[in-house]
């Protein structure tokens, strides 16, 4: 299998490493900065004998090398700089992401497109909207990461193995996320049976601020190890048709009362992309939070397209 990763920044390069060193796919890593993807690819290749894997990685500045990819991952973008408004950033990343998609599509029209660039739900919609891609072959990564963060904090709090914890976070990425405690479990037991409402609220707040907490600690840049693992998890389910049930930003057509939008919903993900969206029972309040997420994403889409 072949995975092309557009953007050789922290997330792109870490994801490359995860994919090849776990023998999941050959990787083509592309960036606009000359030498950068080539240098990373050479460095990773020189580690190949030591890591004992058989996958290849190439670095490039030319989209022709991405030809015939099974999956294209878009991680290209710029970070917000001083003096740049959120809307400026939105427009810049919208341009980068839609151009990267157009160019990738030319060489890999049948690939599945996995979007990572923020603002996630908006970028995923733009990729679909500005391409001829079927909606089920486009998805965004956010819910897997947000769930993984919540799972980590639940495991810390209870002093149990992370492997026994299942988190459920729907909705938009960042402030718009909708964690659902009664569907978060430890070995099948809902956390609502194990933790007080105050403690659960505290863990949810830390999850909501999860990205910011890492930014504050790192001082330069944002999280990339867990984001790369999250993208890798989704890619594995696609490449090996694992039909994992996970939260992806997927195109909704009436599910949860939402329309014409990409938002984090429970999906079955396999070799055909988003193969099914599951509608689980939500409370009125939860549905309202989803609607609020949807309105915010819609507003940003309008700004990006204006």
Among 35, 109, 134, 221, binds ligand NAI (CB under 6 A): 221
The closest residue (CB) to ligand NAI is 9
* Residue 113 sits in the site that holds ligand NAI (CB under 6 A): no
> Applying CB under 6 A, does 138 fall inside the site for ligand NAI?
no
Q: Does 10 bind ligand NAI (CB under 6 A)?
A: yes
Give the nearer residue to ligand NAI in terms of CB position, either 211 or 273: 211
Regarding 208 and contact with ligand NAI (CB under 6 A), the answer is no
| Residue 153 in the binding site for ligand NAI (CB under 6 A) | no
Q: Does 222 bind ligand NAI (CB under 6 A)?
A: yes
- Shortest Cβ 263–ligand NAI spacing (Å): 13
Check binding of 32 to ligand NAI (CB under 6 A): yes
Contact 108, 129 (CB under 8 A): no
Closest by alpha carbon to 234, among 116, 152, 133, 131?
116
Q: Is the Cβ of residue 223 or residue 252 nearer to ligand NAI in the bound state? A: 223
Interface residue with ligand NAI, options 19, 25, 29, 142 (CB under 6 A):
142
- Closest contact distance (angstroms) between CB of 196 and ligand NAI is 29
Ramachandran angles phi, psi of 196, nearest 5°: -75, 155
The DSSP string of the chain is: -EEEEE--SHHHHHHHHHHHHTTS-EEEEE-SSTTHHHHHHHHHHHTHHHHT----EEEES-GGGGTT-SEEEE-------TT--HHHHHHHHHHHHHHHHHHHHHH-TT-EEEE-SSSHHHHHHHHHHTS---GGGEEE-SHHHHHHHHHHHHHHHHT--GGGEE--EEESSGGGEEE-GGG-EETTEEGGGTS-HHHHHHHHHHHHTHHHHHHHHHSSS---HHHHHHHHHHHHHHHTT--EEEEEEEEEESGGG-EEEEEEEEEEEETTEEEEE------HHHHHHHHHHHHHHHHHHHHHH-
Which region holds residue 7: left if phi is over 0, alpha if psi is between -120 and 50, else beta?
A: left
> What residues from 117 to 136 belong to the interface with ligand NAI (CB under 6 A)?
117-118, 120
Site string for ligand NAI, 227-266 (x = CB under 6 A): x---------------------------------------
CB of 114 to ligand NAI, least distance (A): 10
Q: Closest separation between CB of residue 35 and ligand NAI, Å? A: 11
Residue 223 binds ligand NAI (CB under 6 A): yes
User: Two tokens at 22?
Assistant: 């776990």
Q: Tell me if 145 contacts ligand NAI by CB under 6 A.
A: yes
Query: According to CB under 6 A, which residues from 66 to 105 bind ligand NAI?
Result: 75-79, 96, 100
Answer yes or no: 173 catalytic. Answer: yes
7 near ligand NAI, rule: CB under 6 A: yes
Active site residues: 173
Binding positions for ligand NAI, rule: CB under 6 A:
6-12, 31-33, 75-79, 96, 100, 116-118, 120, 141-142, 145, 173, 221-224, 227
């Amino acid at each position: 299998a072949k995975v092309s990763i557009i953007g050789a920044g922290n997330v792109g390069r870490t994801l490359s490493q995860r994919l090849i060193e776990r023998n999941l796919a050959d990787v083509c890593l592309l960036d606009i900065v000359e030498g950068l993807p080539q240098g990373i690819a050479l460095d990773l290749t020189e580690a190949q004998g030591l890591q004992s894997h058989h996958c290849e990685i190439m670095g490039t500045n030319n989209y022709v090398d991405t030809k015939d990819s099974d999956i294209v991952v878009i991680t290209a973008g710029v970070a917000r700089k001083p003096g740049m408004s959120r809307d400026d950033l939105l427009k810049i990343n919208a341009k980068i992401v839609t151009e990267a998609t157009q160019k990738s599509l030319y060489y890999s029209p049948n690939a599945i497109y996995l979007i990572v660039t923020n603002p996630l739900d908006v970028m995923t919609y733009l990729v679909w909207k500005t391409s001829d891609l079927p909606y089920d072959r486009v998805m965004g990564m956010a819910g897997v990461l947000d769930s993984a963060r919540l799972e980590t904090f639940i495991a810390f709090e209870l002093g149990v193995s992370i492997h026994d914890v299942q988190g459920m976070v729907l909705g938009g990425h960042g402030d718009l996320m909708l964690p659902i405690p009664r569907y978060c479990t430890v070995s099948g037991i809902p956390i609502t049976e194990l933790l007080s409402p105050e403690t659960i609220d505290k863990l949810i707040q830390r999850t909501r601020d999860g990205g910011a907490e890492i930014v504050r600690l790192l001082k330069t840049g944002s999280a990339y190890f867990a984001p790369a693992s999250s993208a890798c998890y989704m890619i594995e389910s696609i490449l090996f048709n694992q039909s994992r049930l996970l939260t992806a930003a997927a195109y909704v057509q009436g599910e949860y009362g939402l329309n014409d939008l990409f938002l984090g919903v429970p999906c079955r993900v396999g070799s055909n992309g988003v193969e099914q969206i599951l509608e689980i029972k939500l409370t009125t309040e939860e549905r309202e939070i989803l609607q609020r997420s949807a309105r915010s994403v819609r507003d940003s889409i309008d700004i990006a397209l204006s």
